[in-house]
Structure 1
Protein backbone atom coordinates (compact mmCIF):
# COMPACT_ATOMS: atom_id res chain seq x y z
CA UNK A 1 0.00 0.00 0.00
CA UNK A 2 1.44 3.40 -1.03
CA UNK A 3 1.04 6.28 1.41
CA UNK A 4 -0.85 9.25 0.05
CA UNK A 5 1.32 12.32 -0.42
CA UNK A 6 0.24 15.27 1.70
CA UNK A 7 1.00 18.51 -0.11
CA UNK A 8 -0.54 21.05 2.23
CA UNK A 9 -1.53 21.42 5.86
CA UNK A 10 -4.08 23.42 7.81
CA UNK A 11 -2.51 24.90 10.93
CA UNK A 12 -4.88 25.08 13.89
CA UNK A 13 -3.87 26.87 17.07
CA UNK A 14 -5.26 24.90 20.03
CA UNK A 15 -5.28 25.73 23.72
CA UNK A 16 -6.75 23.76 26.59
CA UNK A 17 -7.42 24.53 30.22
CA UNK A 18 -7.27 21.68 32.72
CA UNK A 19 -7.52 21.12 36.46
CA UNK A 20 -4.36 19.06 36.84
CA UNK A 21 -1.14 17.88 35.23
CA UNK A 22 -2.29 14.80 33.28
CA UNK A 23 -5.50 13.58 31.62
CA UNK A 24 -7.46 10.74 33.16
CA UNK A 25 -7.05 11.45 36.84
CA UNK A 26 -7.64 15.11 35.98
CA UNK A 27 -9.99 16.86 33.55
CA UNK A 28 -9.79 19.09 30.52
CA UNK A 29 -12.25 21.89 31.27
CA UNK A 30 -11.80 24.26 28.33
CA UNK A 31 -10.94 23.67 24.66
CA UNK A 32 -10.32 26.51 22.24
CA UNK A 33 -9.08 26.46 18.67
CA UNK A 34 -8.54 28.95 15.85
CA UNK A 35 -7.48 28.52 12.25
CA UNK A 36 -4.00 30.05 12.05
CA UNK A 37 -3.38 29.49 8.34
CA UNK A 38 -2.13 26.87 5.93
CA UNK A 39 1.21 25.74 4.62
CA UNK A 40 2.31 24.15 1.39
CA UNK A 41 5.42 23.96 -0.78
CA UNK A 42 5.33 27.76 -1.22
CA UNK A 43 5.34 28.43 2.53
CA UNK A 44 2.88 29.58 5.17
CA UNK A 45 -0.18 31.75 4.56
CA UNK A 46 -1.73 33.29 7.67
CA UNK A 47 -5.48 33.47 8.25
CA UNK A 48 -7.44 35.85 10.46
CA UNK A 49 -7.62 33.68 13.60
CA UNK A 50 -10.90 35.23 14.70
CA UNK A 51 -12.75 34.06 11.59
CA UNK A 52 -12.91 30.30 12.21
CA UNK A 53 -12.92 29.28 15.86
CA UNK A 54 -14.12 26.55 18.18
CA UNK A 55 -14.79 26.71 21.94
CA UNK A 56 -16.29 24.36 24.48
CA UNK A 57 -16.29 24.07 28.25
CA UNK A 58 -16.38 20.45 29.40
CA UNK A 59 -17.85 18.52 32.28
CA UNK A 60 -15.11 17.18 34.60
CA UNK A 61 -14.46 13.44 34.28
CA UNK A 62 -13.24 12.83 37.84
CA UNK A 63 -13.45 14.24 41.32
CA UNK A 64 -9.69 14.88 41.49
CA UNK A 65 -8.28 18.32 40.85
CA UNK A 66 -5.29 20.46 41.72
CA UNK A 67 -6.54 23.76 43.20
CA UNK A 68 -3.56 25.68 41.77
CA UNK A 69 -4.13 24.32 38.26
CA UNK A 70 -7.85 25.10 38.53
CA UNK A 71 -7.13 28.64 39.70
CA UNK A 72 -5.12 29.36 36.54
CA UNK A 73 -8.18 29.06 34.30
CA UNK A 74 -10.68 30.57 36.72
CA UNK A 75 -13.23 27.96 35.63
CA UNK A 76 -15.81 26.75 38.14
CA UNK A 77 -15.88 22.94 38.40
CA UNK A 78 -19.27 22.92 40.14
CA UNK A 79 -20.80 24.97 37.34
CA UNK A 80 -19.19 22.73 34.73
CA UNK A 81 -20.56 19.60 36.43
CA UNK A 82 -24.03 20.98 35.73
CA UNK A 83 -23.50 22.98 32.53
CA UNK A 84 -20.35 21.68 30.84
CA UNK A 85 -20.54 19.76 27.59
CA UNK A 86 -20.27 15.98 27.79
CA UNK A 87 -16.69 15.19 26.71
CA UNK A 88 -17.79 12.70 24.06
CA UNK A 89 -20.11 15.24 22.46
CA UNK A 90 -17.62 18.12 22.65
CA UNK A 91 -14.74 16.09 21.20
CA UNK A 92 -16.90 14.71 18.39
CA UNK A 93 -17.95 18.28 17.55
CA UNK A 94 -14.31 19.34 17.65
CA UNK A 95 -13.31 16.53 15.29
CA UNK A 96 -16.07 17.55 12.87
CA UNK A 97 -14.91 21.19 13.05
CA UNK A 98 -11.29 20.22 12.37
CA UNK A 99 -12.29 18.21 9.30
CA UNK A 100 -14.56 21.00 8.05
CA UNK A 101 -12.01 23.81 8.34
CA UNK A 102 -9.19 21.64 7.00
CA UNK A 103 -11.12 21.01 3.76
CA UNK A 104 -8.79 18.46 2.17
CA UNK A 105 -5.63 19.68 3.89
CA UNK A 106 -3.86 17.71 6.62
CA UNK A 107 -4.73 19.33 9.97
CA UNK A 108 -1.84 20.21 12.28
CA UNK A 109 -2.38 21.09 15.94
CA UNK A 110 -0.14 24.02 16.93
CA UNK A 111 0.47 25.01 20.54
CA UNK A 112 2.77 26.94 22.85
CA UNK A 113 4.06 24.76 24.31
CA UNK A 114 2.32 21.92 22.50
CA UNK A 115 3.33 19.17 24.92
CA UNK A 116 0.77 19.93 27.64
CA UNK A 117 -2.16 20.78 25.37
CA UNK A 118 -1.43 17.87 22.98
CA UNK A 119 -1.32 15.38 25.87
CA UNK A 120 -4.84 16.30 26.99
CA UNK A 121 -6.24 16.78 23.49
CA UNK A 122 -4.97 13.49 22.07
CA UNK A 123 -5.97 11.50 25.18
CA UNK A 124 -9.48 12.97 25.11
CA UNK A 125 -9.88 12.41 21.37
CA UNK A 126 -8.88 8.75 21.63
CA UNK A 127 -10.75 8.13 24.87
CA UNK A 128 -14.02 9.74 23.81
CA UNK A 129 -14.11 9.45 20.01
CA UNK A 130 -11.68 6.63 19.25
CA UNK A 131 -9.67 8.66 16.72
CA UNK A 132 -7.70 11.86 16.22
CA UNK A 133 -8.13 14.04 13.10
CA UNK A 134 -4.45 14.95 13.60
CA UNK A 135 -3.25 11.35 13.59
CA UNK A 136 -0.92 10.35 16.40
CA UNK A 137 1.78 12.98 15.79
CA UNK A 138 0.24 15.89 13.90
CA UNK A 139 1.35 18.63 16.25
CA UNK A 140 3.76 21.54 15.99
CA UNK A 141 5.38 23.07 19.06
CA UNK A 142 5.87 26.82 18.65
CA UNK A 143 8.41 26.90 21.47
CA UNK A 144 10.63 24.45 19.56
CA UNK A 145 10.03 26.36 16.32
CA UNK A 146 11.30 29.56 17.95
CA UNK A 147 14.26 27.82 19.60
CA UNK A 148 15.32 26.34 16.25
CA UNK A 149 15.01 29.61 14.34
CA UNK A 150 16.70 31.61 17.11
CA UNK A 151 19.52 29.07 17.52
CA UNK A 152 18.78 28.69 21.24
CA UNK A 153 18.51 25.67 23.51
CA UNK A 154 14.87 24.88 24.26
CA UNK A 155 15.28 25.48 28.00
CA UNK A 156 16.43 29.04 27.29
CA UNK A 157 13.14 29.90 25.57
CA UNK A 158 10.19 31.70 27.15
CA UNK A 159 7.82 34.23 25.65
CA UNK A 160 9.46 36.95 27.73
CA UNK A 161 12.78 36.20 25.98
CA UNK A 162 11.34 36.54 22.46
CA UNK A 163 11.67 39.71 20.41
CA UNK A 164 8.51 41.75 21.14
CA UNK A 165 7.55 42.00 17.46
CA UNK A 166 6.97 38.22 17.37
CA UNK A 167 4.41 38.26 20.16
CA UNK A 168 0.72 38.90 19.75
CA UNK A 169 -0.56 42.16 21.21
CA UNK A 170 -3.38 40.17 22.81
CA UNK A 171 -3.04 39.29 26.50
CA UNK A 172 -2.59 35.66 27.54
CA UNK A 173 -5.80 35.35 29.57
CA UNK A 174 -5.98 31.58 30.26
CA UNK A 175 -9.31 31.49 28.45
CA UNK A 176 -8.82 28.69 25.93
CA UNK A 177 -10.26 30.50 22.91
CA UNK A 178 -8.56 33.82 23.65
CA UNK A 179 -5.24 32.04 24.04
CA UNK A 180 -5.74 30.00 20.86
CA UNK A 181 -6.25 33.23 18.90
CA UNK A 182 -3.22 34.83 20.58
CA UNK A 183 -1.08 31.79 19.76
CA UNK A 184 -2.27 31.78 16.15
CA UNK A 185 -0.86 35.28 15.78
CA UNK A 186 2.41 34.15 17.37
CA UNK A 187 2.59 31.25 14.89
CA UNK A 188 2.06 33.56 11.90
CA UNK A 189 4.82 35.84 13.16
CA UNK A 190 7.19 32.94 13.78
CA UNK A 191 6.55 31.47 10.34
CA UNK A 192 7.38 34.80 8.68
CA UNK A 193 10.43 35.46 10.85
CA UNK A 194 13.76 34.63 9.18
CA UNK A 195 15.56 34.42 12.51
CA UNK A 196 17.97 36.81 14.22
CA UNK A 197 19.69 39.32 11.97
Structure 2
Protein backbone atom coordinates (compact mmCIF):
# COMPACT_ATOMS: atom_id res chain seq x y z
CA UNK A 1 0.00 0.00 0.00
CA UNK A 2 1.29 3.49 -0.87
CA UNK A 3 2.16 5.73 2.03
CA UNK A 4 0.62 9.19 2.28
CA UNK A 5 4.06 10.63 1.47
CA UNK A 6 4.24 8.59 -1.75
CA UNK A 7 0.76 9.77 -2.78
CA UNK A 8 1.69 13.40 -2.09
CA UNK A 9 4.92 13.23 -4.10
CA UNK A 10 3.48 11.31 -7.08
CA UNK A 11 3.11 13.27 -10.30
CA UNK A 12 -0.35 14.91 -10.64
CA UNK A 13 -2.81 13.15 -12.96
CA UNK A 14 -5.02 14.90 -15.50
CA UNK A 15 -8.09 12.80 -16.31
CA UNK A 16 -9.30 13.10 -19.89
CA UNK A 17 -12.66 11.59 -20.76
CA UNK A 18 -12.62 9.99 -24.22
CA UNK A 19 -15.49 8.56 -26.24
CA UNK A 20 -15.11 6.93 -29.63
CA UNK A 21 -17.53 5.85 -32.32
CA UNK A 22 -16.59 2.96 -34.59
CA UNK A 23 -18.04 1.06 -37.53
CA UNK A 24 -17.19 -2.37 -36.12
CA UNK A 25 -16.11 -4.25 -32.99
CA UNK A 26 -12.30 -4.11 -33.26
CA UNK A 27 -9.68 -1.74 -34.72
CA UNK A 28 -7.75 -2.77 -37.82
CA UNK A 29 -10.41 -4.61 -39.78
CA UNK A 30 -12.81 -1.82 -38.81
CA UNK A 31 -12.47 1.92 -38.29
CA UNK A 32 -12.74 4.50 -35.55
CA UNK A 33 -14.93 7.04 -37.32
CA UNK A 34 -15.00 9.77 -34.67
CA UNK A 35 -13.64 10.52 -31.23
CA UNK A 36 -14.08 13.23 -28.66
CA UNK A 37 -12.18 14.18 -25.53
CA UNK A 38 -12.87 16.48 -22.59
CA UNK A 39 -10.74 17.31 -19.58
CA UNK A 40 -12.57 15.95 -16.52
CA UNK A 41 -10.29 17.01 -13.67
CA UNK A 42 -6.92 16.93 -11.98
CA UNK A 43 -5.70 14.85 -9.07
CA UNK A 44 -2.79 15.90 -6.88
CA UNK A 45 -2.13 13.46 -4.07
CA UNK A 46 -5.51 12.63 -2.58
CA UNK A 47 -7.12 15.90 -3.74
CA UNK A 48 -9.26 15.90 -6.89
CA UNK A 49 -10.37 19.12 -8.61
CA UNK A 50 -13.15 18.89 -11.19
CA UNK A 51 -12.80 20.87 -14.42
CA UNK A 52 -15.49 22.45 -16.59
CA UNK A 53 -15.67 19.64 -19.19
CA UNK A 54 -16.82 21.99 -21.95
CA UNK A 55 -13.76 24.25 -21.61
CA UNK A 56 -10.98 22.03 -22.98
CA UNK A 57 -12.21 19.62 -25.64
CA UNK A 58 -11.06 17.85 -28.81
CA UNK A 59 -13.12 16.30 -31.60
CA UNK A 60 -12.39 14.74 -34.97
CA UNK A 61 -14.27 12.71 -37.56
CA UNK A 62 -11.96 10.28 -39.35
CA UNK A 63 -11.65 8.79 -42.79
CA UNK A 64 -12.27 5.01 -42.58
CA UNK A 65 -9.18 2.82 -42.91
CA UNK A 66 -10.87 -0.17 -44.59
CA UNK A 67 -13.88 -1.03 -46.70
CA UNK A 68 -15.30 -3.31 -44.01
CA UNK A 69 -18.01 -2.14 -41.64
CA UNK A 70 -20.92 -3.48 -39.62
CA UNK A 71 -24.10 -1.58 -40.55
CA UNK A 72 -25.56 -1.86 -37.02
CA UNK A 73 -22.35 -0.45 -35.49
CA UNK A 74 -22.22 2.38 -38.01
CA UNK A 75 -25.86 3.24 -37.34
CA UNK A 76 -25.15 3.96 -33.64
CA UNK A 77 -23.29 7.20 -34.43
CA UNK A 78 -25.54 8.32 -37.27
CA UNK A 79 -22.46 9.39 -39.25
CA UNK A 80 -22.51 9.13 -43.05
CA UNK A 81 -19.71 6.77 -44.06
CA UNK A 82 -19.60 8.00 -47.67
CA UNK A 83 -19.09 11.55 -46.40
CA UNK A 84 -16.32 10.38 -44.05
CA UNK A 85 -14.56 8.65 -46.95
CA UNK A 86 -14.57 11.99 -48.81
CA UNK A 87 -14.18 14.49 -45.95
CA UNK A 88 -12.96 12.66 -42.85
CA UNK A 89 -9.63 13.65 -41.35
CA UNK A 90 -6.55 11.63 -42.21
CA UNK A 91 -6.00 9.33 -39.18
CA UNK A 92 -2.27 10.09 -38.93
CA UNK A 93 -2.88 13.85 -38.95
CA UNK A 94 -5.75 13.57 -36.45
CA UNK A 95 -3.72 11.46 -34.02
CA UNK A 96 -0.78 13.88 -34.25
CA UNK A 97 -3.12 16.76 -33.43
CA UNK A 98 -4.62 14.79 -30.56
CA UNK A 99 -1.21 13.93 -29.08
CA UNK A 100 -0.25 17.61 -29.18
CA UNK A 101 -3.56 18.62 -27.55
CA UNK A 102 -3.20 16.05 -24.75
CA UNK A 103 0.33 17.22 -23.98
CA UNK A 104 -0.72 20.87 -24.02
CA UNK A 105 -3.69 20.48 -21.67
CA UNK A 106 -1.76 18.13 -19.37
CA UNK A 107 1.13 20.52 -18.71
CA UNK A 108 3.08 19.12 -15.76
CA UNK A 109 0.49 16.40 -15.08
CA UNK A 110 0.44 12.83 -16.32
CA UNK A 111 -2.53 12.33 -18.67
CA UNK A 112 -4.93 9.48 -17.93
CA UNK A 113 -7.65 8.48 -20.38
CA UNK A 114 -10.95 7.63 -18.68
CA UNK A 115 -14.01 6.07 -20.24
CA UNK A 116 -17.32 4.36 -19.49
CA UNK A 117 -16.53 1.62 -20.12
CA UNK A 118 -12.89 2.25 -20.99
CA UNK A 119 -12.22 -1.17 -22.52
CA UNK A 120 -13.85 -0.52 -25.90
CA UNK A 121 -12.76 3.10 -26.31
CA UNK A 122 -9.19 2.45 -25.08
CA UNK A 123 -8.78 -0.47 -27.52
CA UNK A 124 -9.49 1.78 -30.50
CA UNK A 125 -7.74 4.88 -29.17
CA UNK A 126 -4.49 3.12 -28.23
CA UNK A 127 -4.42 1.11 -31.46
CA UNK A 128 -4.86 4.28 -33.53
CA UNK A 129 -2.23 6.20 -31.53
CA UNK A 130 0.31 3.41 -32.06
CA UNK A 131 -0.64 2.55 -35.64
CA UNK A 132 -0.61 6.18 -36.77
CA UNK A 133 2.49 7.67 -35.17
CA UNK A 134 3.80 4.98 -32.83
CA UNK A 135 3.36 7.01 -29.64
CA UNK A 136 0.72 7.33 -26.91
CA UNK A 137 0.74 10.30 -24.51
CA UNK A 138 -1.04 7.97 -22.05
CA UNK A 139 1.69 5.32 -22.23
CA UNK A 140 0.51 1.74 -22.70
CA UNK A 141 -1.73 1.54 -19.63
CA UNK A 142 -2.78 5.08 -18.68
CA UNK A 143 -6.50 4.45 -18.69
CA UNK A 144 -9.13 4.30 -15.97
CA UNK A 145 -12.44 2.49 -16.32
CA UNK A 146 -15.34 4.32 -14.66
CA UNK A 147 -17.37 1.10 -14.35
CA UNK A 148 -14.58 -0.41 -12.25
CA UNK A 149 -14.21 2.80 -10.24
CA UNK A 150 -17.92 2.76 -9.42
CA UNK A 151 -17.99 -0.97 -8.67
CA UNK A 152 -15.06 -0.62 -6.28
CA UNK A 153 -16.48 2.41 -4.44
CA UNK A 154 -20.02 1.06 -4.31
CA UNK A 155 -18.86 -2.49 -3.48
CA UNK A 156 -21.03 -4.04 -6.16
CA UNK A 157 -20.18 -6.67 -8.81
CA UNK A 158 -18.82 -5.19 -12.03
CA UNK A 159 -21.83 -6.43 -14.01
CA UNK A 160 -24.08 -4.45 -11.65
CA UNK A 161 -22.11 -1.24 -12.30
CA UNK A 162 -24.59 0.23 -14.77
CA UNK A 163 -25.82 3.80 -14.95
CA UNK A 164 -29.41 2.73 -14.31
CA UNK A 165 -28.42 1.46 -10.86
CA UNK A 166 -26.15 4.33 -9.86
CA UNK A 167 -27.29 6.99 -7.39
CA UNK A 168 -28.84 9.82 -9.39
CA UNK A 169 -26.44 12.42 -7.99
CA UNK A 170 -23.53 10.68 -9.76
CA UNK A 171 -25.04 10.96 -13.21
CA UNK A 172 -24.62 13.84 -15.61
CA UNK A 173 -27.82 15.65 -16.56
CA UNK A 174 -26.65 15.68 -20.18
CA UNK A 175 -28.16 13.27 -22.68
CA UNK A 176 -26.08 10.39 -24.06
CA UNK A 177 -26.33 11.23 -27.78
CA UNK A 178 -23.71 8.91 -29.35
CA UNK A 179 -21.96 12.00 -30.66
CA UNK A 180 -18.42 11.37 -29.44
CA UNK A 181 -17.81 14.86 -28.02
CA UNK A 182 -21.22 15.10 -26.33
CA UNK A 183 -20.62 11.74 -24.69
CA UNK A 184 -17.05 12.57 -23.66
CA UNK A 185 -18.36 15.70 -21.89
CA UNK A 186 -21.19 13.75 -20.25
CA UNK A 187 -18.74 11.10 -19.06
CA UNK A 188 -16.29 13.73 -17.79
CA UNK A 189 -19.01 14.89 -15.40
CA UNK A 190 -19.62 11.30 -14.28
CA UNK A 191 -15.87 10.89 -13.73
CA UNK A 192 -15.64 13.94 -11.47
CA UNK A 193 -18.77 12.93 -9.57
CA UNK A 194 -17.29 9.48 -8.97
CA UNK A 195 -13.91 10.84 -7.88
CA UNK A 196 -15.57 13.17 -5.37
CA UNK A 197 -18.16 10.63 -4.18
CA UNK A 198 -17.92 9.35 -0.63
CA UNK A 199 -20.46 6.51 -0.40
Q: Which string of whole-angstrom CA distances, capped at 9 and with x for unpartnered residues, describes residues 48-93 of structure 1? A: 0000000000000000001111010001110000000000000000
Provide the C-alpha distance between the structure 2 equivalents of 1:36 and 1:174, rounded to a whole number of angstroms.
Answer: 18
Distance across 1 between alignment mates of 2:164 and 2:89 = 35
Q: Which runs of 5+ in 2 are unaligned?
A: 1-8
Match of 1:13 among 17, 22, 45: 17
TM-score, normalisation: structure 1: 0.95
Q: Is the 8 A contact 1:50 1:181 kept in 2?
A: yes
Moved over 4 A (4+): none
8 A Cα contact 2:10 2:45, kept in partner: no
Structure 2 length as normaliser, TM-score?
0.94
Once residues 11 and 141 of structure 2 are traced to their aligned partners in structure 1, the CA distance between those partners, rounded to angstroms, is: 17
Q: 1:91 maps to which residue?
A: 95
Cα distance in structure 2, aligned partners of 1:164 and 1:20: 32
- How many angstroms apart in 2 are the aligned matches of 1:67 and 1:88? 25
1:45-56 alignment to 2 at 5 Å? 45-56=49-60
Q: Deviations over 1:159-188 (max 9, x none)?
A: 111111100000000000000000000011
- What is residue 117 of structure 1 aligned with on the other side? 121
Matched residue, 1:39:
43
Deviation at 1:43, TM superposition (A): 1.6
Structure 1: segments with no counterpart, 5+ residues? none
- Could you say what the CA RMSD is over the residues aligned between the two structures, in angstroms? 0.8
Give the one of 172, 175, 180 matched to 1:171.
175
> How many equivalent pairs are there?
191
